[in-house]
Amino acid sequence: MSDDAGIVMRVHRVRAEFVVAACDAELIGRDLPVGDAGRTVRVSGQFYGERVVSREEILWALERATIANLLGTRTLRLAEEAGFLSPGGSGTLGGVPHAEIFAVAH
């Protein structure tokens, strides 16, 4: 897949949570190394989705999310540009930019 392949997303509703999982489309099916023991984690279409979505659809979902799990350069850039993620507010998972966002009720 090319670098402009887009972003896939899936929304999970778990009890009162509205969980948005989104990642760069070409990451689906990849195994990312985790830790030093040779372990990997598979980037799953069951979790992140397999349908490429529009910028508007992702932003709509992030506005409503209580939890967001974001993976990939384009996905994190979009979240940062839209103000959902602070610059430097992410880490990496297997060398790929990754962030988890939690809404805290006051």
Domain boundaries along the sequence of the chain? 7-102
The mean per-residue pLDDT over the stretch 28-38 comes to 91
For residue 28 the two structure tokens come to 């689906």
Alpha-carbon gap, residue 83 to 34, rounded angstroms = 28
> Architecture of 7-102 per CATH?
2-Layer Sandwich (3.30)
pLDDT in tens, 51-86: 999 999 999 999 999 999 999 999 999 999 999 999
**For all residues of the chain together, what is the average pLDDT?**
91
d(CA 98, CA 90): 6
Report the run of H or E that residue 89 belongs to, with start and end: none
CA atoms within 13 A on the CB side of 94: 15
Query: Model-level pTM greater than 0.95?
Result: no
**Which one-letter amino acid corresponds to residue 6?**
G
| pLDDT the model gives residue 3 | 45
Query: Residues, the chain, total?
Result: 106
